[in-house]
Structure 1
Amino acid sequence: MATLADDIEVLAPSPRTLSGLAFALLSAASFGMSGALARGLLHEGWTPGAVSVVRIALAALVIAPFGLTALRGRWHLLAAQWRTLLAFGIVAVAAPQFFYFSAVAHMEVAPALLIEFIAPAAVVVWLWLRHGERPGRLTLAGALTAALGLVLVLDLFSGAGLSLTGVLWALGAMVGCATYFVMSGDHSGGLPPIVLAAAGLLVAALTMAVLGVTGLVEMAASDASVDLAGATVAWWVPIVLLGVFTAALSYASGIAAIRRLGSRLASFVALAEVLFGVLWAWALLDELPRAVQVAGGALILAGVVAVKLGERTTATATGRPDA
């Protein structure tokens, strides 16, 4: 009977889980546009550092009022968590963005994404080693299924060239991405998700600005027009989309999703970003997804479902509440 009850719970997830999945998909959809938008700017003379700092700064300006409203004058929360906020802004926000754009400048978007999205596996290993949350067979099967889906969606069998420099940048982005999921899932500081997002973006913007002013990160921009969705648009159009849609909206919704789903499940749902990236490439660059990519998307979804079922099994066995 207990198994039947668990099955019913899986088929009828809680409102918290449903809202978490909605936030996670919104975050994945918005994050997925960043590669196509940034590639156009990089081709017109922008450096990865310049794209990153402008994107992050604009996102911080957009989300700051909402963060202040949610904080409600509880400044002691920021004071008590300043070390966490510094680490989150630098390692989980600034680093993965800069590293990913640097990778894209040296290699194709598809393999860069594949390397970055090793992050969910890194999250599973971290939770296992740090918190003793050993993944079950169903979770591992889901991870392998989702990984196979990624390979199919990215269509790497056609033979994509790899740059060692690009691979190293992408691995750095993977570490930052995994850190983002782990730190965002920590409730202990009492910071509302929107406050964590706003503070993290502000710290990241200041970090990138300091690196740019000191010359440690190259900063160069261009006012040349950019090709987008079959039309030529002003440079500020992709910049605004990068800052508002692919940063402010994606970080706010992503952290809200992680708080509801937990780091492990949210990181696997985020694999949908690759699928959305293919769809955005279709819409903005007129690149139609192939049948093998559609099959890969189905495998990603199947893997996410398996990970969720595995999480419930682990929660039942250990007696801890399920995310």
Structure 2
Amino acid sequence: MRISSTASGLAIAVLAAASFGTSGVLMKPLLEAGWSPAAAVTARAIGGAIILLPITLVALRGKWDALWRARWRVLIMGVVGVASTQFFYFAAIRTVPVSTAILIELLAPLLLVAVVWARTLRMPRPLVLAGSALAIVGLVMVIGPGSIGAPDPIGLLFSVLAMVACAVYFVIAARPSDGLPPVAFAGVGLVIGALTLSVLALIGVLPFTATFGDLPLLGAMLPWWVPLLFVAVVSTALAYVAGITAAESLGSRLASFAGLLEVVFAALFAWILLGEALQPLQLLGGALILGGIAAVKAAEPADGPVELPLAEGRAATEAQVPAR
């Protein structure tokens, strides 16, 4: 899955957003059946890691030196981009509304714009500022204006930390591969993330409960592992590989804005599969997000995306389920 053009990169980014967005409708029956969010997402990460493991081993044949060179990048992806984003999100939703935590986490594109501004001391182009405004207003419309406002400062702090971890995911994913295949990067990162989440669950930092009976899905009663398997394959393995591949092509800024489409796809799948009707305000919000992405794309320099410097040594779902 090597790509070079911006158009191809955006297509893969849309695929990643759609893949991540499927987790909502499939995680929801598990949560309603008694699974804790931490248990569901830990099982998701473990499943995704298992799915990608054989492909990762094949992709790494003759390229283990590339993995060693990228060891710090892969470690940060697993611990921060995968595990920390989830950990901070779960800590936040203990005291603030789920939709508020998601909204703050998905402000990661604005954080990347602000950091580049601070590092370069150059004001972003007007199109970037306009695109940022359009995308964030659209995001609020899709999630719901009622998601704004959370009085608990600790919950807000954890939400901000989840936003930072999400921004790190996009920065790390966008770094030059240096010979490491995206599928291997995603596979090893998921293994590290799954191990980190498992340790947090085992020591009691994350609440971990699960049930193993049949549950309703798409009008039928199916075993608990059916939605989890789909989430592992599509919403995790495919989504992370596609997301990393797109970020390498688009750069962290444009990729993070394209990632906002995840919440649009989540709402769309909830409408199609769960009958949760889309409101006109949500449709308008989706259009504004697309407009924001188009503005940021138009502002990209001709010689390539603007990236944050990084010394070598992790992106949302619908409001009822864990964010990426």
TM-score bracket for this pair, using the shorter chain length: 0.7 to 0.9
Q: Offset at 1:142?
A: 0.5
Choose the corresponding residue for 1:194, options 173, 183, 204. 183
Choose the corresponding residue for 1:111, options 100, 105, 114. 100
In structure 1, runs of 5+ residues without a counterpart are 1-13
- Aligned counterparts of 1:214 and 1:106: Cα–Cα separation in 2: 21
* Secondary structure at 1:200 match in 2: helix
Choose the corresponding residue for 1:173, options 159, 162, 171. 162
- Taking the TM superposition and a 5 Å limit, the aligned residue runs for 1:184-223 are 184-187=173-176, 189-223=178-212
Deviation string, structure 1 residues 94-148 (Cα, Å, up to 9, x no partner): 1223444565676655433322210111121223334566421110100101111
- 1:303 corresponds to: 292
- 1:321 corresponds to: 304
C-alpha change, 1:283 and 1:307, in structure 2 (3 Å) is same
2:41 is equivalent to residue 58 of structure 1: no
- Taking the TM superposition and a 5 Å limit, the aligned residue runs for 1:48-197 are 48-100=37-89, 103=92, 109-130=98-119, 134-157=123-146, 162=150, 164=152, 167-187=156-176, 189-197=178-186
- 1:229 corresponds to: 218
Letter in 2 for 1:233: L
- Aligned counterparts of 2:36 and 2:20: Cα–Cα separation in 1: 19
**Normalised TM-score (structure 2):** 0.84
Deviation string, structure 1 residues 2-35 (Cα, Å, up to 9, x no partner): xxxxxxxxxxxx9611211111001101111223
- Aligned counterparts of 2:208 and 2:31: Cα–Cα separation in 1: 12
Structure 1 stretch displaced more, 131-140 or 296-305: 131-140
Q: Is the 8 A contact 1:52 1:98 kept in 2?
A: no
Letter in 2 for 1:229: L
Structure 1 or 2, whichever has the larger Rg, is 1
Q: Offset at 1:282?
A: 0.7
Q: Offset at 1:261?
A: 0.8
* Secondary structure at 1:321 match in 2: coil
The structure 1 segments of at least 4 consecutive aligned residues displaced by more than 4 Å after TM superposition are 101-109, 131-134, 159-163, 165-169
In structure 2, runs of 5+ residues without a counterpart are 307-324
Aligned length: 303
Letter in 1 for 2:304: P
**What's the Cα RMSD here?**
2.5
Structure with the higher helix share, 1 or 2: 1
Q: Is the 8 A contact 1:229 1:283 kept in 2?
A: no
- Aligned counterparts of 1:166 and 1:40: Cα–Cα separation in 2: 26
Percent identity reads 44
- Aligned counterparts of 2:29 and 2:155: Cα–Cα separation in 1: 18
Q: Is the 8 A contact 1:124 1:264 kept in 2?
A: yes
